[in-house]
Amino acid sequence: MTSPRPSVLRVDRRRALLVELINIPSVSHHEHHLANWTEAQLRQSPHGEVLRAGDEVVFRFPALAGKSKIIFCGHLDTVPANDNQTARVEGDRVYGLGATDLKAGLAVFLDLIETLDPATLHVDPVFVFYTCEEVAYQESGLLVVERELPEVLQNTRFAICVEPTDNAVELGCLGNLHAEVTVRGKAAHSARPWFGENAIHAAAPLIERIAAVPERSVDYGEQLRYREVISATTITAGDARNVIPDTLRMNVNFRFAPDRSREDAVTVVRELVGDAGTIEVTDLSPAGRVASENPFCRVLVAGADGAVRAKQAWTDVGRFSEWAIDAVSCGPGIPAQAHQQEEYATIGAMTRSAAIFERFLQEAREVS
Amino acid sequence: MTSPRPSVLRVDRRRALLVELINIPSVSHHEHHLANWTEAQLRQSPHGEVLRAGDEVVFRFPALAGKSKIIFCGHLDTVPANDNQTARVEGDRVYGLGATDLKAGLAVFLDLIETLDPATLHVDPVFVFYTCEEVAYQESGLLVVERELPEVLQNTRFAICVEPTDNAVELGCLGNLHAEVTVRGKAAHSARPWFGENAIHAAAPLIERIAAVPERSVDYGEQLRYREVISATTITAGDARNVIPDTLRMNVNFRFAPDRSREDAVTVVRELVGDAGTIEVTDLSPAGRVASENPFCRVLVAGADGAVRAKQAWTDVGRFSEWAIDAVSCGPGIPAQAHQQEEYATIGAMTRSAAIFERFLQEAREVS
């Protein structure tokens, strides 16, 4: 299926690609140079075509149009730098900002595109390189793709997000709701608190209620368990230490299981807060449906030797679910390394990732 | 007792003094110009002498040394400006930063000094103009006086702080303790809170305990009631909304009654917090003892037509108590006007204040 480039050279190629990818800074909202570089790489393919909308870059093989469409997607952006902008190779490891989340996955994609022969494929792989995954739900470059290049998403049968999963197939994802809860009181001098109403004191029973919400586990078969959790993650009240505070603000974060809709999640938080405060939902990312029954998912899982896990966090799998597209996460990065200053990826995991995707593309067939 | 300046001229004089006092900015730590101006005013007295240490200014009559010493004190500083730095006279009112807290009192003092004839007095009034009352306990200019001019405080029989009391005599004062309470947890991704320990959730029972502390009333006779109260006044935790917060910080403010020592107040807070967090006491101002039995206090109260009140806040009366000096607050400012942008004092209250102090000085006699 692939061109006859020796595998040892491909290992070197992926490492070189990853080093280049790391060395082109691409913090969220600043992906322009990396998008240009990626486009230039992709335009060297003799078989493919490149679409671009803003800094969203799409690669596909026109000859495969009409076959079952499989999206391979990875984000170009990284979290902010932390004195780790320059790639460093040490043995099997490549260190640097975004190495594991998820430029190692992008390197696997680029190498795959260079070596794929579309004449051997029975599905239509479409590669999407997008911006602003590390920021708010509504800022994602996938929304630009949806708006500017709608045909890219249409009739997609399956999508693979190359998020760091250590090459396991992670199914579904938790939904993610952030709500700013405001508890109101009335200011007064702290020597005469009876003239006011202390917003911190007023919030205590609400915090107790949030802390007391039991974890809810939702199982899909024997291998997949999603743990639904709610937490107060930030709190602030009081400008002056001798004044009874009249306002308390608290971020409540609800990570909800795939069996809940976004509306349902909002209802849970509203009922929990009750009349203790007002609520502004500041982020609401849908849970991702569990695609274990999707035939392409079965092929991918088989190729990954059955390594499946529930995704105990949010990923763009949830966004694809909103578009009624089954999706999973599967990539060479190491989950625990994501967003760490000493973030790294391994050459070995990239080799394995390439093998999983190649096997998937060899074995995936039209299914009705 | 006073020089025969007609009372109508003295009203004009006090108003003019107050306007000048307001128009010389003297926000805490920036009292230098006002101290110089005050010293220049005082040096015009033919009978008195002026002492100075830094920007602390003291006036006394050498001829009265050895009689019962009465300290009249007022702070030179104001809270920060809020677009109200310039004096404005409207009928009976003088508006401007510090008008009520407490430059109206300083104007009464300066006019009194200009008109007092020490040959008619049986006590030794000593006037102390000091810096940095509006900031932390340890920053007060009274500590400079204690250190640099210790003889000023020695053998004092009674002290009057010209704080805004609407010319009532306010006895005692609440003590004031601020403690920063730190509750520790352990950080984790908010989708996997079981790997961490939420400092906000952990703090909720402590906040509930603080909110549930009943107010304790302490009565001195039938007229004086001190209400002891404790409040959380500021709270902060969490840098990122998707991270379980590992640290919560909360300011706890304990306003304690005159029957408690500072050590006792610290013990109350320590026992309340228990092992829920660590405590750093950041301010600890002693309560002021209730001087109702002091013979000079009785004279002052009689001259104020019996208007006495408990001081439900902290004042330097607490500091004088630490020095074993009985003190009260009594001044022409309006308590509710203190620290307001549209702060004002009235000419009428200044006239009454001058009359109270003159009557006090006429009637005060050596007591053993």
Instruction: Please tell me if residue A214 touches chain B, with a CB cutoff of 8 Å.
Output: no
Note whether residue B2 is domain-resident: no
Q: Do B97 and B191 sit in the same domain of this protein?
A: no
Chain B from 308 to 337: CB within 8 A of any A CB: 312-314
Q: Residue A85: left if φ>0, alpha if ψ -120 to 50, beta else—which one? A: alpha
Do residues A289 and A299 lie in contact, with contact meaning Cβ atoms separated by under 8 Å? no
Instruction: Please tell me if residue B178 touches chain A, with a CB cutoff of 8 Å.
Output: yes
Catalytic site residue from B31, B55, B77, B124: B77
Q: Do A14 and A113 sit in the same domain of this protein?
A: yes
CA distance A152 to A59: 10
Catalytic site residue from A31, A56, A133, A228: A133
Chain A environment of B238 (Cβ under 8 Å): 232-235, 251
Do residues A56 and A128 lie in contact, with contact meaning Cβ atoms separated by under 8 Å? yes
Instruction: Please tell me if residue A205 touches chain B, with a CB cutoff of 8 Å.
Output: yes
Q: B283: buried, middle or exposed (CB in 10 Å: 19+, 13-18, 0-12)?
A: middle
Query: What's the pLDDT score for residue A367?
Result: 64
Mean pLDDT, to the nearest integer, of A73-88?
A: 95
Instruction: Please tell me if residue B217 touches chain A, with a CB cutoff of 8 Å.
Output: no
CA distance A21 to A106: 8
Note whether residue A368 is domain-resident: no
A3, pLDDT greater than 60: no
Note whether residue B90 is domain-resident: yes
Chain B environment of A191 (Cβ under 8 Å): 174, 176, 229, 255, 312-314
Q: What is the pLDDT of residues A241-285, one digit of tens each?
A: 988 999 999 999 999 999 999 999 999 999 999 999 999 999 999
If you measure CA to CA, which chain A residue comes closest to B243? Answer: A233
Query: What's the pLDDT score for residue A285?
Result: 95
Query: What's the pLDDT score for residue B107?
Result: 98
A4, pLDDT greater than 70: no
Note whether residue A54 is domain-resident: yes
Q: What is the pLDDT of residues A133-151, one digit of tens each?
A: 998 899 999 999 999 999 9
What secondary structure letter does DSSP report for B192? Answer: -
Query: What's the pLDDT score for residue A154?
Result: 96
Q: Which of B190, B210, B227 should be substituted to probe chain A, the one whose Cβ sees the most A Cβ atoms within 10 Å?
A: B190
Residue A208 Cα, gap to closest chain B Cα (Å): 6
Backbone angles phi, psi at B228, to 5 degrees: -90, 125
Instruction: Please tell me if residue B9 touches chain A, with a CB cutoff of 8 Å.
Output: no
Alpha-carbon distances, residue A185 vs A272, B249, B340 (angstroms): 19, 20, 20
If you measure CA to CA, which chain A residue comes closest to B188? Answer: A233
Under an 8 A CB cutoff, do A232 and B201 touch?
Answer: yes
If you measure CA to CA, which chain B residue comes closest to A247? Answer: B234
Q: Do B163 and B32 sit in the same domain of this protein?
A: yes
Under an 8 A CB cutoff, do A241 and B253 touch?
Answer: yes
Instruction: Please tell me if residue B253 touches chain A, with a CB cutoff of 8 Å.
Output: yes
Chain A environment of B234 (Cβ under 8 Å): 200, 237-241, 245
Q: In what order do the strands lie in the sheet containing A344-346?
A: A88-90, A93-95, A344-346
Do residues A171 and A257 lie in contact, with contact meaning Cβ atoms separated by under 8 Å? no
**Residue count of chain A:** 368
Q: What is the pLDDT of residues A290-304, one digit of tens each?
A: 999 999 999 999 999
Tell me the longest C-alpha to C-alpha distance in chain A: 82
CA distance B314 to B144: 20
Question: When comparing pLDDT for A199 and B368, which is higher?
Answer: A199
Quick one: chain B helix, strand, coil %, rounded to 5? 35, 30, 35
- CB-CB neighbours of A212 under 10 Å: 10
Query: Is A133 noted as a catalytic residue in this protein?
Result: yes
Query: What's the pLDDT score for residue B229?
Result: 98
Instruction: Please tell me if residue A213 touches chain B, with a CB cutoff of 8 Å.
Output: no
Q: What is the mean pLDDT of chain A?
A: 95
Do residues A161 and A327 lie in contact, with contact meaning Cβ atoms separated by under 8 Å? yes
Looking at A250, A285, A320, the residue that finishes a domain is: A285
* CATH number of domain containing A244: 3.30.70.360
Mean pLDDT per 10-residue interval, chain B, length 368 residues = 70 97 98 98 96 98 96 96 94 97 98 95 97 93 98 97 97 97 94 94 98 97 95 95 94 97 98 98 96 96 94 95 97 91 96 97 80
Under an 8 A CB cutoff, do B231 and A201 touch?
Answer: yes
Instruction: Please tell me if residue B204 touches chain A, with a CB cutoff of 8 Å.
Output: yes
Under an 8 A CB cutoff, do B236 and A235 touch?
Answer: yes
- Which of A205, A229, A241 is closest, CB to CB, to B178? A241
Q: Which of B135, B183, B233, B255 should be substituted to probe chain A, the one whose Cβ sees the most A Cβ atoms within 10 Å?
A: B233
A30, pLDDT greater than 90: yes
Query: Is B358 noted as a catalytic residue in this protein?
Result: no
Q: Do A42 and A184 sit in the same domain of this protein?
A: no
Q: Cβ contacts of residue A336 below 8 Å, gap of 6+?
A: none
Q: Do A277 and A308 sit in the same domain of this protein?
A: no
Q: Do A138 and A16 sit in the same domain of this protein?
A: yes
Query: How sure is the predictor about A26, in pLDDT bands with cuts at 50, 70 and 90?
Result: very high
Mean pLDDT, to the nearest integer, of A191-204?
A: 95
Note whether residue A182 is domain-resident: yes
Instruction: Please tell me if residue A217 touches chain B, with a CB cutoff of 8 Å.
Output: no
Looking at A267, A285, A303, the residue that finishes a domain is: A285
Q: Do A153 and A219 sit in the same domain of this protein?
A: no
* CATH number of domain containing A59: 3.40.630.10
Q: Do B59 and B104 sit in the same domain of this protein?
A: yes
| Tokens (6 digits) for A349 | 């995991």
If you measure CA to CA, which chain A residue comes closest to B251? Answer: A241
What secondary structure letter does DSSP report for B102? Answer: I
Catalytic site residue from B56, B111, B114, B133: B133
Under an 8 A CB cutoff, do B238 and A235 touch?
Answer: yes
Q: Do B227 and B116 sit in the same domain of this protein?
A: no
Query: What's the pLDDT score for residue B4?
Result: 59
CA distance A253 to B19: 55
Q: Cβ contacts of residue A89 below 8 Å, gap of 6+?
A: A15, A19, A95
CA distance A232 to A252: 4
Looking at A256, A285, A314, the residue that finishes a domain is: A285
Instruction: Please tell me if residue A193 touches chain B, with a CB cutoff of 8 Å.
Output: yes
Do residues A288 and A323 lie in contact, with contact meaning Cβ atoms separated by under 8 Å? no
Chain B environment of A240 (Cβ under 8 Å): 233-234
Q: Cβ contacts of residue B112 below 8 Å, gap of 6+?
A: B354, B357, B358
Do residues A335 and A166 lie in contact, with contact meaning Cβ atoms separated by under 8 Å? yes
Q: A6: buried, middle or exposed (CB in 10 Å: 19+, 13-18, 0-12)?
A: exposed
Number of domains in chain A: 2
- Which of B200, B231, B313 is closest, CB to CB, to A235? B200
Under an 8 A CB cutoff, do B250 and A174 touch?
Answer: no
Q: Which range marks the domain in which residue A131 is found?
A: 7-173+288-363
Query: How sure is the predictor about A185, in pLDDT bands with cuts at 50, 70 and 90?
Result: very high
Instruction: Please tell me if residue B276 touches chain A, with a CB cutoff of 8 Å.
Output: no
Note whether residue A2 is domain-resident: no
Do residues A255 and A174 lie in contact, with contact meaning Cβ atoms separated by under 8 Å? yes
Note whether residue A1 is domain-resident: no
Query: What's the pLDDT score for residue B5?
Result: 72
CA distance B26 to B296: 32
Please name the amino acid found at residue A128.
Answer: V
Instruction: Please tell me if residue A189 touches chain B, with a CB cutoff of 8 Å.
Output: yes
Do residues A296 and A124 lie in contact, with contact meaning Cβ atoms separated by under 8 Å? no
Q: Do A253 and A299 sit in the same domain of this protein?
A: no
Q: Do A53 and A166 sit in the same domain of this protein?
A: yes
Q: How many contacts (CB atoms, under 8 Å) link A and B?
A: 144
Note whether residue B182 is domain-resident: yes
Instruction: Please tell me if residue A244 touches chain B, with a CB cutoff of 8 Å.
Output: yes
If you measure CA to CA, which chain A residue comes closest to B255? Answer: A191
Do residues A257 and A325 lie in contact, with contact meaning Cβ atoms separated by under 8 Å? no
Residue B284 Cα, gap to closest chain A Cα (Å): 13
Backbone angles phi, psi at B75, to 5 degrees: -90, 145
Do residues A219 and A201 lie in contact, with contact meaning Cβ atoms separated by under 8 Å? no
Do residues A128 and A311 lie in contact, with contact meaning Cβ atoms separated by under 8 Å? no
Under an 8 A CB cutoff, do A203 and B205 touch?
Answer: no
- Which of A205, A253, A314 is closest, CB to CB, to B241? A253
Q: Do A232 and A262 sit in the same domain of this protein?
A: yes
Chain A environment of B135 (Cβ under 8 Å): none
Instruction: Please tell me if residue A250 touches chain B, with a CB cutoff of 8 Å.
Output: yes
